């Protein structure tokens, strides 16, 4: 078997680990921290024109103040549907209609809610770590297959260390992101 076939694709492993981190950032962005963010309405889908449509495709989402999200709905006939979707989304914000604008005042979070959000963030981080470990396991499986195909002990050890290094860096990045998010959530 040619030596090239015994190579482990570290780029693919790194891409998959980066994908887990990107997914985690998206989940963190959807957590309401008491500060306004356009990402808070991104997951909300509206029944528009017979299909489920993201809010950002029905209007412009702006954050004019630290505690206010404003949605400028382009089609005035969609305003009530957008309001209904926001109310039913479970984000805990009551929309206020003002002509073509829908205002979403972000309420202050109490201590109990902050702790709950912090636990949810920790769960998201743990899920991302599990994804990273699964990618690591797949990489180690590739190394075992390559060993069976004739890879030497030294190469196997080197590749194993490379995969473990990528894993350690990704886990550390997740821990840092979680720490930052929990500080943001607990900030009054």
User: What pLDDT does residue 32 have?
Assistant: 64
Q: Which of 105, 126, 143 is the last residue before a domain boundary?
A: 105
Return the minimum-mean-pLDDT range out of 7-11, 38-42, 147-151, 163-167. 38-42
Task: Identify whether residues 24 and 43 lie together within a single domain.
Answer: no
Residue 89, domain extent? 35-105
CATH number (domain holding residue 101): 3.30.1360.40
Looking at residue 109, what DSSP letter applies? P
End position of a domain, from candidates 71, 105, 139: 105
Domain boundary at 105, 123, 147, which? 105
Q: Return the pLDDT at 92.
A: 72
> Does residue 2 carry a pLDDT above 70?
no
Neighbour count for residue 41 (Cβ, 10 Å) = 25
Q: 50: pLDDT confidence band, cut at 50, 70 and 90? A: confident
Residue 144 burial (CB count, 10 A): 13
12-46: per-residue pLDDT in tens? 999 999 999 998 988 887 776 667 777 778 878 89
pLDDT in tens, 84-143: 988 887 677 889 998 889 998 887 778 887 888 888 889 999 999 999 999 999 999 999
| Residue 1 counted as domain residue | no
In 3D, which of 106, 98, 137, 113 has the Cα closest to residue 40?
A: 106
């Amino acid at each position: 078997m040619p030596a090239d076939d015994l190579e482990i694709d570290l780029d693919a492993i790194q891409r998959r680990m980066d994908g887990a981190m990107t997914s985690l950032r998206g989940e963190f962005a959807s957590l309401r921290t008491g500060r306004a963010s356009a990402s808070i309405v991104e997951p909300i889908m509206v029944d528009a024109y017979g299909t489920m449509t993201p809010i950002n495709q029905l209007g412009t989402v702006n954050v004019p103040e630290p505690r206010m999200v404003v949605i400028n709905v382009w089609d005035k006939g969609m305003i009530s549907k957008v309001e209904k979707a926001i109310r039913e989304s479970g984000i805990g914000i009551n929309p206020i209609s003002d002509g073509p604008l829908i205002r979403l005042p972000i309420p202050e979070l109490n201590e109990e809610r902050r702790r709950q959000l912090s636990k949810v963030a920790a769960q998201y981080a743990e899920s991302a770590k599990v994804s990273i470990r699964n990618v690591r396991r797949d990489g180690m499986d590739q190394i075992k297959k390559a060993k069976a195909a004739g890879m030497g002990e030294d190469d196997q050890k080197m590749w194993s260390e490379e995969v473990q290094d990528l894993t350690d860096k990704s886990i550390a990045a997740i821990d840092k992101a979680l720490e930052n998010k929990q500080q943001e959530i607990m900030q009054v």
